[in-house]
Structures are given as C-alpha cells and as structure tokens.
Structure 1
C-alpha cells in the first residue's frame, strides 16, 4: 500500500472513530436529558451545558475503563454543572475539636458489619439543593436516628431549616454540626419538618421557644470520637448511633455511582459534611457506609461506600455524634 493510500485509510479510520465517539456522546446526552430534565433558555446555554456533559462523559468513561478501579462513576445532576455551581452543594467548615478526646472502646465488642440504610429509624435521603447546608442535614440525621431509637422505633422528621435560619448567620454558607447541636440544647430542641419546612435558602428565624420540639438535646450536646480511631467509630455504630463526619471531596466524588470510593486526590475547598451509618467490606476492601444529602438520584440511592481505615480525605479525622434526651 502506498503512503497516500495509507494516509487516506488512516484518516477514514480516524473519522469513523470520531463519529462513533460523537454518536456515543449524543446518545448519552439524550438519555441524560430524559432522566435529568434541565431548564435551558437559549441555544448558547444548550451547547454550553452539552460541552460540560461531554467532558464529564469522557472522564466517566476513562475512569470506568480502568480495571483496577474500586468504584464506578456515572451521570447525575452534577454532570452539567460548572465547578462554581457544584461548590454551592458543599458547606462544611473545618471542625475545631477539644484537646485530649477519649472514648474507651478497648473492652467493647463490635459487630463484624453494620448497615443502617434500611433500618426502621433511617429516614429517606434528603436533598439540600444549592445551599451550603450539608452540616444542618448531617446534624439533623444524627438527632432523628437517635430520637427514633429511643422512641420505640417511631421515626421523626425534623427541621433542617430551623438550623439554617436560627443557629448561625447565613446558614447556606456553611457551618458545624456541633454548633447546631449546641444551639438545639440551648433553645429547647428541634421542631418537626412540617412546622418549619426546608426552602434551600436563608430566611428570618421563625422558631419560637413555645414550639413543641420533636427532639431535645442533652446539655452535653456533642460527643467527640477520638481522631482516626476506627474501633471507637465502629463501637458507636454498633451501639446504635450514627456519626457526623467531614470530608474534603475529590472531584470524582460528584460522579460516584457504585463500589468502594478510594480516590485520594482530596480538594480542601470541597469540604462536605455527611453521616457514617455503617461499615463492612466489599471484595476484601473495608468501607464506611456514608449517607449524603444530595438526594436519592445521586450515588447508590443517596449513599456512598468510602474506603475505611485510611482516613480517606479526612473522613476519620473529625467524627462526632450527639446525645438526644
């Protein structure tokens, strides 16, 4: 074959490969719009969102083709968002734990595995929206679960909006779970969601001290768990409580779908609060079961398995829980 014929042949193969790639992205794009409808006002915005989607799609395909990957990625609501838009879904502030934290777990028996995802006291996964209120959802989940466990497995739906509006200034710009619990112990408790529904934006505090609380917090409002002490964390979970935790999320976390998340490229600006609600092992990889507040369409029905015992992105650095009356 002559050089010209070889060049033409190579160009034809290249064009064919490009056509397949374009078709693949177009097909995925149409499927995405059907599953995650988005409001697009102009043609320029349409192409802008599709260009972000295409980049996300390529990153997902590249990651999932890696046979050594311990987790798989997929499309969700974040697939068409800019980095600035994604950042609105974070909101954890770096915790400041006290010195000399101790929790004697040396003589306690811990379960081989714990998973509260389907427990009677685990409320449905919430959606915080584009408000940096993850801390309020993480704090509330701990209170709801513990209240239910102490109340004959009767589930309670508490108001995250109360924390966003009342426990600090501009609750959509971030916060601390322990600060939220301290506030609740001071004002008499957390009221139910139907009385003070979530709006994903900051408003004037509507809480009144005469309101009947759905749950009350002890004056010893926070129990810090020793940093990077996985046995102590597993002990708390075995005893029937869940944990608030802090992570500095890698960018790949936004597209998590299944498996054990193990990406170590942590991003300090992507600080996020979630809940550890169990632990176990998959294909010999130990993990934490982590509950998120990005809705049930994200991840594995709103949950993610995060590699355990390596303090991945600080998940084991600032664990804490609270004491419900």
Structure 2
C-alpha cells in the first residue's frame, strides 16, 4: 500500500504540467503554448524533464538545460541569447508583476485600471496612495521611521485619500493666541495616557473616521474627552458623539455633512449645539461610511436606546502660542490639544518611528491639512517629537498613534494648535 501511495504521488507530480499531448501530436507544440497553458512567464529553471511539449511525434523541452547537448532538444521557438534560453510568450499575451494576462483582459494594478492589448499592457497613470517604490526607498534609508503597505489603503488613489481621509482647513480669520509664559523648566517627555487617574487603563481609544472627511471633528472630540477627564481627575465612562457633531452642524451647509470645515467653524458648530450627547445616546454607527445627511437629534430625546445622556459643552476655541514650550505647558495645565498640520503623500504609509517627510515626499494637493490630537512629547535618537493620536483606526501607525518631528517647517507642525474649556452636565 505504501509503495502504491508513493507511486501515485509521483504520477501526480509528473502530470503537474500541461504537455500538449493529443492535439499537439498532429502539429508542432511550442514553448509559447507551454507557458500559456501553465500560466508561466519564462522557461523552467535548470533541467526539468517535465517542462516539455509534444512536437509532432517527439518531445521538445522548455527549460534552461535544453540545447546544451550535441543534439538540440529544445522546442523550435526557444531563443538562446548569451547562453541563456528564452521562451517566448504567446502572441497577444501580456506579463506584468509575475502575472500573465490574455489579450483584451482588464485588470487592476494597485489603483490603476489596466488592459492587455496585443501583448502590451496599457494602464492609467494615477498616483496611488500606496507607492511601492517610495515605500522601499523609505525603508531602505535612515529617516528614523518605517513605512508599511496597508491593505486598507491598497488600490486607493492619492486623490481619493485627500478627499476622504483628511478634512480640515485653517481658520478663516486669524485669532491672537493667548499670552504664554516661556520661563521655567518643562519635563523632557510626557504622555497623557500615563496620568495616575487612568489607573493603568486609558479609556479614550483610537477612532476611525473611515471615509468621513472630517478630521476636524474627530480631533476635537478626542481632545474634549481627555480634557473632561483632566478636569474631573477621573476617566470618562462615556465620550461625546462625533457623529452628532458632524451630522447636526448648523455651520456646514453641504448636503453630505462628512466634509471639511475650518477649525473655527468646527468649534463654532459645537458651541451652537445645546451640548453634545454621549455615544450611548447618539452612536457613531454611520459615520465611517462617509455619508451623513440627516441629524437624528430632533429633540432632547436620544435617537439611541439610552434613556439618559451626559452632555459635553465647550467654550470658544483659543489658539495656543506656536512655540514648543508654550504647547507643552498648555498640555500639562489643561490637557491634550488639537493640532493641524500639512499632509505629504508618504505620511499615509507611516508605520513606526519619528515621522518627517522623506526626500521624495510630495504634497499631492497643495496646502491640504489634517487634524489630530496631541497628547505628549519626547525624544528618540536625538529627534524631538510630538506624540499624537490619529483617526485612521488602531491598525495604522503605532496602534493608531504616531510620533512626528517637532519644529519642521514643511509640515507646519506646532504652528496651528488649539485648546478649549470643557464641562459636562
């Protein structure tokens, strides 16, 4: 029985390739047919007696060994150049990234639509969110941070990302920052998540804005939750509804409320509401779809199953003086801040380390900004950084967080910083 099993396995291996047989015994078999039928792009490596076709009534081979003896046993269409056998692809067949495509076959190459036409691949040339060449260049250099190929960003264009994953503009008017005291010493590192009243468990987890282009709202509500914890000296058991803030904004006149607002418009939206309900009252169930058309908060009654709600109230936002020590003192005194910075295409691929734009980084659409919550700072390998919470889910970056180099002019990090007073009722 054992010998029969081994014999069966050998038979299976020997029949792994399509060899032509049958109909090819009448006409001449070719390596082009062999590659096509076996979904291959080149001759078999070394000597492989199973890489053959039936050429009329005899075998001819499609490997790198054929033709090295005194009699040529290669199939007639094998070309030998510089002592290397080359097996031609069938006419009209296309090869790309190790894949074989039939004539007129359509396919996707990352974010671009492609078509095989008469042996030539023609693709659209739109910039993709995941750029493999740029990713390799970053990881092969000493930038102080690493990049990753995120599956949830693959096949997306940069244009799509700028339209759906950001969502904030600078204030429509310039407001004078609060006066600040630059004197005295500030500790070299700080992380709001390690405050003693969290007792080892930080409750304000990373959010995902999905395709809702409203980072203004996510960074605001993240900051509001933390400041409420700071003022009460205890963790918040509930957090404000970012979906209510977006969907019920009286400032945003667009039909789809999942859209960008300026920083001051975002805070004015929150001020104009009679308090922002918690997520048990007004859930965040629909926001990630990127489409919010209707405000469900028609009265004081919760649209969700909760019978009661905590409401979060905010003051008018105030700019923080754009100097590192001033920002640090603001965080120590009042809690995390909202920070807005300029986006470059390589930031989407950030995985770990201290981010700063790479040499090949570009601002795909000029002067596009992203809003995040900054909750700490530190230094690594001589690079000073801000610790920030993003809103692209916990699978991005350092479990949803990232570190970004301080005082970098190109990103304008630390230039646009905002705080507000919070109370709960």
Q: What TM-score range do you get, normalising by the shorter chain? A: 0.7 to 0.9
Aligned to 1:3: none
Determine if contact 1:177/1:244 at 8 Å carries over to the other structure: no
Aligned to 2:62: none
Aligned to 1:270: 368
Aligned to 2:121: none
Determine if contact 1:92/1:135 at 8 Å carries over to the other structure: yes
Q: Compared with structure 1, are the counterparts of its residues 105 and 8 closer, same or farther at alpha carbon in structure 2 (3 Å cutoff)?
A: farther
TM-score relative to the length of structure 1: 0.79
Write the distance in 1 (CA, Å) between the matches of 2:128 and 2:175.
Answer: 46
* Larger gyration radius, structure 1 or structure 2: 2
Moved over 4 A (4+): 9-12, 43-55
SS of the equivalent of 1:247 reads strand
Determine if contact 1:97/1:224 at 8 Å carries over to the other structure: no
Aligned to 1:102: 178
Q: More helix by proportion, 1 or 2?
A: 1
Q: More strand by proportion, 1 or 2?
A: 2
Q: Does 1:80 align with 2:155?
A: yes
Determine if contact 1:245/1:319 at 8 Å carries over to the other structure: yes
Q: Compared with structure 1, are the counterparts of its residues 252 and 104 closer, same or farther at alpha carbon in structure 2 (3 Å cutoff)?
A: same
Aligned with residue 186 of structure 1, among 272, 281, 295? 272
Aligned to 2:296: 206
Q: Does 1:91 align with 2:167?
A: yes
Write the distance in 2 (CA, Å) between the matches of 1:114 and 1:11.
Answer: 63
Aligned to 2:227: 146
Aligned with residue 69 of structure 1, among 143, 153, 156? 143
RMSD of the alignment, in Å? 3.0
Q: Compared with structure 1, are the counterparts of its residues 145 and 90 closer, same or farther at alpha carbon in structure 2 (3 Å cutoff)?
A: same
SS of the equivalent of 2:341 reads strand
Aligned pairs for 1:1-325 (under 5 A) are 8=82, 44=106, 47-49=109-111, 56-66=131-141, 68-76=142-150, 77-87=152-162, 88-96=164-172, 98-107=174-183, 109-117=185-193, 120=198, 123-155=204-236, 156-167=238-249, 168-170=252-254, 171-198=257-284, 199-200=286-287, 201-208=291-298, 210=300, 212-218=309-315, 221-226=316-321, 228-263=322-357, 265=361, 267=363, 268-325=366-423
Q: Compared with structure 1, are the counterparts of its residues 310 and 83 closer, same or farther at alpha carbon in structure 2 (3 Å cutoff)?
A: closer
Aligned to 1:37: none
Bigger relative contact order (CA 8 A; separation at least 6): 1
TM-score relative to the length of structure 2: 0.61
Q: Compared with structure 1, are the counterparts of its residues 139 and 54 closer, same or farther at alpha carbon in structure 2 (3 Å cutoff)?
A: closer
Q: How far does residue 321 in structure 1 lie from its aligned partner after superposition?
A: 0.9
Which shifted more, 70-79 or 291-300?
70-79
Aligned to 1:40: none
Unpaired runs of at least 5, structure 1:
1-6, 13-20, 27-42
SS of the equivalent of 2:153 reads helix
SS of the equivalent of 2:136 reads helix
Unpaired runs of at least 5, structure 2:
1-80, 87-95, 100-104, 114-126, 302-308
SS of the equivalent of 1:179 reads helix
Write the distance in 1 (CA, Å) between the matches of 2:341 and 2:129.
Answer: 27
Write the distance in 1 (CA, Å) between the matches of 2:320 and 2:271.
Answer: 19
Write the distance in 1 (CA, Å) between the matches of 2:299 and 2:184.
Answer: 40
